[in-house]
Amino acid sequence: MDVRTLKLAVIRGDGIGPEVVDEALKVLHAVTPDDLVIEETPFSLGATRYLETGDILTEDDMSAIASHDAILLGAVGGDPRDPRLAGGIIERGLLLKLRFAFDHYVNLRPTKVYDAVATPLAAPGAVDFVVVREGTEGPYVGNGGAIRTGTPQEIATEVSLNTAFGVERVVRYAFDLADRRARKHLTLVHKSNVLVHAGALWQRTVAAVGAEFPDVTVDYQHVDAVTIHMVREPARFDVIVTDNLFGDIITDLAGAISGGIGLAASGNINPDGTLPSMFEPVHGSAPDIAGQQKADPTAAILSVALLLDHIGRSDLATAVTRAVEADLADRGTTQRRTAEIGDAIAAAATARTTTA
Amino acid sequence: MDVRTLKLAVIRGDGIGPEVVDEALKVLHAVTPDDLVIEETPFSLGATRYLETGDILTEDDMSAIASHDAILLGAVGGDPRDPRLAGGIIERGLLLKLRFAFDHYVNLRPTKVYDAVATPLAAPGAVDFVVVREGTEGPYVGNGGAIRTGTPQEIATEVSLNTAFGVERVVRYAFDLADRRARKHLTLVHKSNVLVHAGALWQRTVAAVGAEFPDVTVDYQHVDAVTIHMVREPARFDVIVTDNLFGDIITDLAGAISGGIGLAASGNINPDGTLPSMFEPVHGSAPDIAGQQKADPTAAILSVALLLDHIGRSDLATAVTRAVEADLADRGTTQRRTAEIGDAIAAAATARTTTA
Ligand SMILES: CC(C)[C@H](C(=O)O)[C@@H](O)C(=O)O
Ligand SMILES: CC(C)[C@H](C(=O)O)[C@@H](O)C(=O)O
């Protein structure tokens, strides 16, 4: 993708979402050069709007968003104890609906341990890997049901759907990514000794696509074992490709062992580029600290870097990530306000683009 | 359960299984008092036997094992690269078959951080929790399939089956356990914002059974978020109750953040006591280090402690765990052989039972 005018749909969302998006946009504006015009359209979506209007995502919302080049999303979801929001109604009706409708089959989640950032691990080593999480299949398809609900005879099912089409395209993306990285190593994560049908499809696909990438070394790990390696030797990973649910679980763990979920960025990507990709921090809306300027906007800012990469402006993406790295190196133990962190990163990023 | 004569089926299994079982039995013998008679029956099962005879677990094996009070299992599974063992044929045909056939609906996996043991976490805190993993339902039921296998039109499914009957009994067990512990805290782990049908069944069941346990405080965590807490603040957990697959994943992580999988013990328990429960280390058969006296038998030895607890001999169980704790405190950096560790723990355990 190569754009001169970036039409950006902005979903600030709930909780700390608006605060972190404000800082992400601040940094985006700071690095935007004259040859790039950004047209932002705000979409007021999330738990707050749902509780006010009863609408989560209308057909009109969907087609309006679809006409954009990309989406920047803060976080959605209200108070988890609110019974009106039970069963992930916002998460499924908004976040997952966008991922599925816009065919975000690559959910890209990089993890890096920065020197200056405290991690819960005693000796993490040089951690720098990317999880390529499948985004449109697996146990996330909403194919389940229940009978005799609320009785002692209740039966509830959840069906994981996996297709050669869906697995092949994400595996190919992961190989392509691994091939462009220094270590050229790909780890497939699944649970093929128990989920034998889906597991076999993933394993066969990795073997087949892998034949086209002779320079990439391939490894397989069960999802349970991968959690062990991720805390004991996370530096071993380069690119990980995995199913939607396993990817959900291991990327939170990856966030935790690196600088924490406050640094974890993600891109929900439609590599075909016909529908808008969506960039969002991995963290949630954290309603308990909302509006207090306590949230760390770094994950949202790094999501902007992924967005810039996606639209073909890796020069600007690098300016953002370098500015983040500089800011992380500077962070003392004093707690800064959300806007202060954004200001500092924006200033550092500006310096980098103007001197470049 | 209260036994004078313990009929114990012993499945030493593959890889390091025989080595660690030898030490576990050594310790069991060391603590066995005069009023307890142990009758051991060896069962030669696992990948080795399968590759020799084509049998994994015959009807005869099953009925012979069923006539025992309990099972001690080392580890099963051969070389993961051996195509004859693909698709988890041994794990499913042996381990999972026993768990399902003997209705091991409680898969009990305690985690403790011992002072003297190195953990990958910089500051783990006082970690002492138990995961109660459901053992007979969920995505482990083997209910999946594929069509057009090996073609671009392949579709593979995996179905998670969850019943009120199955969830209620394991949730009740977990509450009962939490109620007997000091902190009396229970955390339900699921992914109810995505797997809404199964998630709702688990959440409703926890709410209903919880009403009978007014002293137990209850908490809910999504499985992705729980991985964060487990590396950042594992001391917060007391009892965790969860589904079969989530339990598989988070107990490997729990093993990793504590002393490593070499210390993680488990009991596959049929609380009704009509069918034999099975005790096994969480680790696998590790064929790469088999027969070299490199394996740590501690997890197998701690599994014997769970077995002793299960048969109503918590006095002997305590002797074993205290002996393990003493040995852990003594461990320097010199690598001991499997048998040396067993000898040391057996000696410490003997001292404790004879002076008690
Ligand atoms: C909010 C939830 C539906 C979502 C997911 O499970 O994908 C989140 O955990 C994430 O990882 O983006
Ligand atoms: C070997 C495998 C089938 C098993 C499981 O998934 O339950 C193992 O990982 C465990 O945790 O006991």
Residue A355 has pLDDT above 60, yes or no: no
Quickly state the pLDDT bin for B260 (edges 50, 70, 90). Answer: confident
A288-295: Cβ within 8 A, 24+ apart: A289/A15, A289/A16, A290/A14, A290/A15, A290/A16, A290/A19, A291/A19, A293/A19, A293/A337, A293/A338, A293/A339, A294/A16, A294/A335, A294/A337, A294/A338, A295/A16, A295/A19, A295/A20, A295/A262, A295/A338
Residue B265 pLDDT exceeds 60: yes
pLDDT, one tens digit per residue, over A20-77 is: 999 999 999 999 999 999 999 999 999 999 999 999 999 999 999 999 999 999 999 9
What are the CA-CA distances from residue A200 to residues A114, A160, A195, A218, A231 (Å)? 36, 14, 8, 16, 27
Q: What global pTM score does this model have?
A: 0.96
- Confidence check: pLDDT of A356 > 70: no
Interface A-B: count of C-beta contacts within 8 A = 211
Distance from the Cα of A338 to chain B's closest Cα (Å) equals 22
pLDDT at B82: 92
Give chain B's mean pLDDT. 95
Q: What is the DSSP letter of B336?
A: P
User: Which ligand has the shortest distance to the CA of B268?
Assistant: 2
Size of chain A in residues: 356
Locate A267 and state its tokens: 């891109």
Q: Nearest CA of chain A to the CA of B39: how many Å?
A: 33
Topology agreement, domain B1-104+266-356 and domain B119-258? yes
Q: CA B249 to CA B272: how far, in whole Å? A: 26
Query: How far from B270 is each of A80, A94, B76, B135, B173, CA to CA, in Å?
Result: 35, 42, 21, 10, 11
Averaged pLDDT, A86-107 = 96
Alpha helices, DSSP H, located in chain B: 17-31, 47-53, 59-66, 89-90, 97-101, 164-179, 196-210, 223-232, 244-257, 298-310, 314-330, 338-355
Which position among B191, B238, B243, B327 bears the catalytic label? B191
CATH no., domain A1-105+272-356: 3.40.718.10
Q: What is the pLDDT of residue A118?
A: 87
What is the rounded distance in angstroms from the CA atom of residue A225 to the CA atom of residue A76? 31
Q: Does the Cβ of A274 fall within 6 Å of ligand 2?
A: no
Give residue B9's pLDDT.
Answer: 98
The beta-carbon neighbor of A224 closest among B149, B158, B248 is B248
Interval B130-142: pLDDT, tens: 999 999 999 999 9
**Pick from A271, A176, A275, A191: nearest CA to A225:** A191
What is the percentage of chain A residues whose pLDDT exceeds 90? 90
Q: Cα of B102 to ligand 1 centre, how many Å?
A: 36
Q: Which residue, chain included where needed, has tokens 């051969």?
A: B78
Instruction: Tell me if residue A281 falls in helix, strand or coil.
Output: strand
Predicted pLDDT of residue B3: 80
In terms of CATH architecture, what is B1-104+266-356? 3-Layer(aba) Sandwich (3.40)
Six-digit token string for B88: 């988890």
Query: Bigger pLDDT: B294 or B80?
Result: B294
The confidence score (pLDDT) of residue B355 equals 56
Q: Are B115 and B107 in contact (CB under 8 A)?
A: no
CATH code given to domain B119-258:
3.40.718.10
pLDDT classification of A330: cutoffs 50, 70, 90:
confident
B353 confidence band (pLDDT: 50, 70, 90): confident
Residue B302 confidence (pLDDT) above 90: yes
Residues from chain A that touch B194, judged by Cβ atoms under 8 A, are: 88, 91-92, 96, 139-140, 245, 248
What's the pLDDT tens digit per position in A162-188? Answer: 999 999 999 999 999 999 999 999 999
Rounded CA-CA distance B81/A96 in Å is 37
Q: Give the pLDDT of residue B311.
A: 95
The verdict on a CB contact (< 8 Å) between A121 and B123 is: no
Counting residues of chain B whose pLDDT is more than 90, the rounded percentage is: 90
pLDDT class of B354 with cuts at 50, 70, 90: low
Return the higher-pLDDT residue of B165 and A335.
B165
Interface of B with A in 244-263 (CB under 8 A): 245, 248-253, 255-257, 260-261
Helices B164-179 and B196-210, interaxial angle, to 10°? 40
Distance from CA of B333 to the nearest CA of A (A): 18
- Residues within 8 A of B (CB atoms), A 193-222 only: 193-201, 204
* CA–CA separation, B166 and B160 (whole Å): 13
CA–CA gap between residue B17 and residue A111 (Å, rounded): 36
Mean pLDDT for the stretch of residues A157-165: 98
For residue B191, the ligand closest to its alpha carbon is: 1
Is the distance from CB of A188 to CB of A241 less than 8 angstroms? yes
| Three-class secondary structure of residue A291 per DSSP | coil
Query: Has residue A301 got a pLDDT over 70?
Result: yes
- Among B43, B37, B45, which residue's Cα sits nearest to residue B9? B43
- Mean pLDDT within A13-17: 97
Q: Within an 8 Å CB–CB cutoff, is residue B141 touching chain A?
A: no
Burial label, B81 (beta-carbon count in 10 A; 0-12, 13-18, 19+): exposed
Q: Is B254 helix (H, G, I), strand (E, B) or coil?
A: helix
Distance A295 CA to ligand 1 centre (A): 19
* Model pLDDT, residue B337: 97
What proportion of chain B, given as a percentage, has pLDDT over 70? Answer: 99
Residue A128: per-residue pLDDT: 96
- Alpha helices in chain A, H assignment, sequence order: 17-31, 47-53, 59-66, 89-90, 97-101, 164-179, 196-210, 223-232, 244-257, 298-310, 314-330, 338-355
Place of tokens 């723990």: B345
Place of tokens 């390091």: B16
* Contact criterion met (CB below 8 Å) for A246 and A223: yes
Question: In whole angstroms, how far apart are CA A298 and each of A327, A339, B175, B197?
Answer: 10, 11, 40, 35
Is A248's C-beta closer than 6 angstroms to any atom of ligand 1?
yes
Q: Look at ligand 1, atom 3, and give the residue with the nearest C-alpha.
A: A91
Q: Are B17 and B288 in contact (CB under 8 A)?
A: no
Q: Check whether B332 has a pLDDT greater than 80.
A: no
Q: What is the DSSP annotation of B94-117? A: IIIHHHHHTT--EEEEEEE--TTS
Phi/psi for A120 (5° steps) reads -70, -10
Q: Is B194's C-beta closer than 6 angstroms to any atom of ligand 1?
A: yes
| Cβ atoms of A130 and A255 closer than 8 Å | no
In DSSP terms, A106 is beta-bridged to A134, A269
Arithmetic mean of pLDDT, A286-300: 96
Who's near A201: CB < 8 A, 6+ residues apart? Answer: A162, A164, A167, B146, B149, B154, B156
pLDDT of A342 strictly over 90:
yes
Contacts of A197 in chain B (CB under 8 A): 144-146, 156-158
pLDDT at A256 over 70: yes
Ligand 2 atom with minimal separation from the A225 CA: 9
User: Which structure tokens are listed for A271?
Assistant: 């590599």
Closest CA to B217 of B229, B206, B205, B202: B206
Which distant-in-sequence residues (6+ apart) come within 8 Å of B295 by Cβ?
Answer: B16, B19, B20, B262, B286, B289, B338
Band of the pLDDT at A341, cuts 50, 70, 90?
A: very high
pLDDT at B261: 85
Respond yes or no: is residue B140 known to be catalytic: yes
Task: Report the pLDDT value the prediction gives residue A229, as an integer from 0 to 100.
Answer: 96
pLDDT tens per residue, range B213-230: 999 999 999 999 999 999
User: Is the Cβ–Cβ distance between A72 and A304 less than 8 Å?
Assistant: yes
> What whole-number percentage of chain A has pLDDT above 70?
99
Show me where the domains of chain B are located.
1-104+266-356, 119-258
